[in-house]
Amino acid sequence: MKVMSIFGTRPEAIKMAPLVKALEEDTEIQSVVCVTAQHREMLDMVLELFHIQPDYDLNIMSHGQSIIDIISKSFYGLDDVMKKEKPDLVLVHGDTTTTCAGAQTAFLNKIPVGHVEAGLRSYNIYSPFPEEMNRKITGTIASMHFAPTQGNKNNLLKEGIKEDSIFITGNTVIDALHEVTNNEYVFKEDLLNTIDYNNKKVILLTCHRRENWGQPMENIFNGVKEIVKENEAVELIFPMHMNPKIRALANEILGKEERIHLIEPLDYEPFANLINKCHLIMTDSGGIQEEAPSLGKPVVVLRTETERPEAVEAGTVKVIGVEKSDVIQGVNQLLNNENEYLKMKHAINPYGDGTASKQIVKIIKAKMQSN
């Protein structure tokens, strides 16, 4: 049985890595990996960490390219690879442009698709954009849906997806996280070793979402600046996404501020261990909302909605929006109210026990053998 895994960006690579490993270990499966390289440096960091050598690398990234560039280059490259390899199953992950192109190209080649991290929905096709539509299209094409939670399964059932094609597995990000975090971890980056995690309140910030580009991101950065100014005990670390638009704005607003460290994107291992050491997280990322509950870290979400309501229900994630005053108030509440902070810190991870990848491989084998 030949299974082709397709991915292209940092979060897809992190979440597919443990699954690729599990596929490679299975003697009845021939695993083929094709990366679009929608991301380049941020993808390579993950491939190196997990020792994954793709069989195909479409190398499509060019700076500041549009979604149309990404999708058209992916279609042509993936079509060639699928026609050559003729896999029995294509696996895609999540909701990026690579994901959607992978699913559609497989469909046009009449190859069945398994969707990893299926069933997340915000019910607003413009937020997150274009991810909500990407995952809906992928879900319509897929014949196997690996849903992290019961809530994700319910979303798919509401859309008429057949129950026997949906499998609740937890999220593979927990598998990856378990592999790289350890309480004795020492950073290779000097700056990260000099920070006093015990006596300072260290905030970890990430921000990259397309719908936050422009005014919302300006509001967020101005809010961040004020929070750090007002709270002497706070030290803030922002590993900036490689998108030049984001870096320019971050440098302009936060570049000269005391106790704010703008740094390069971190490899997954130091980043996960930084989550483990920090006080709280401010982010618009999807994956970090899933990782932080596992490590007992409160997350404030710099968005107006989330497709991860389990984390909000579990109490570890709070959606605070993108207005400057809301950002300041949401974070100050956690910095100044110990009870509120501890309530969030002790919430329980709803995303599984770190065995999602093994479960997925078992399900794939059973399903394919029964066909």
* Interface residues toward ligand UDP, by CB under 6 A: 10-11, 14, 173, 206, 208, 239, 265-266, 268, 271-272, 285-288, 291
**Please, are residues 347 and 162 in contact by the beta-carbon 8 Å criterion?**
no
* Contact partner at residue 294 from ligand UDP, ligand UD1, none, CB < 5 to 8 Å by partner kind: none
Max distance between CA atoms of the chain, in angstroms, equals 63
Q: Is 303 a catalytic residue?
A: no
Q: Does 9 bind ligand UD1 (CB under 6 A)?
A: yes
Size of the site for ligand UD1 (CB under 6 A): 23
Q: Least distance from C-beta 254 to ligand UD1, angstroms?
A: 19
**Please, are residues 151 and 117 in contact by the beta-carbon 8 Å criterion?**
no
Type of residue numbered 138: T
Q: Is 55 a catalytic residue?
A: no
Binding mask 182-221 for ligand UD1 (x = CB under 6 A): --------------------------x-x-----------
Catalytic residue among 40, 178, 210, 247: 210
Q: Is 131 a catalytic residue?
A: yes
Q: Does 40 bind ligand UD1 (CB under 6 A)?
A: yes
* Helix, strand or coil, per DSSP, at residue 244: helix
Q: Does 41 bind ligand UD1 (CB under 6 A)?
A: yes
Count of CB atoms situated within 10 Å of the CB of 158: 10
**Within 110-139, which residues bind ligand UD1 (CB under 6 A)?**
130-131
Place of tokens 């949401």: 330
Rounded CA-CA distance 259/237 in Å is: 8
Q: Is 178 a catalytic residue?
A: no
Q: For residue 240, what are the contacts with CB-CB under 8 A and spacing of at least 6?
A: 246, 247, 250, 262, 263, 264, 265
Q: Least distance from C-beta 15 to ligand UD1, angstroms?
A: 11
Place of tokens 């696996």: 91
* Helix, strand or coil, per DSSP, at residue 369: helix
Q: Which two tokens stand for residue 278?
A: 């920090």
* Helix, strand or coil, per DSSP, at residue 90: strand
For binding to ligand UD1 (CB under 6 A), which residues are involved?
Answer: 9-11, 38-43, 63-65, 67, 70, 96-97, 130-131, 208, 210, 242-244
Residues serving a catalytic function are 95, 117, 131, 208, 210, 241
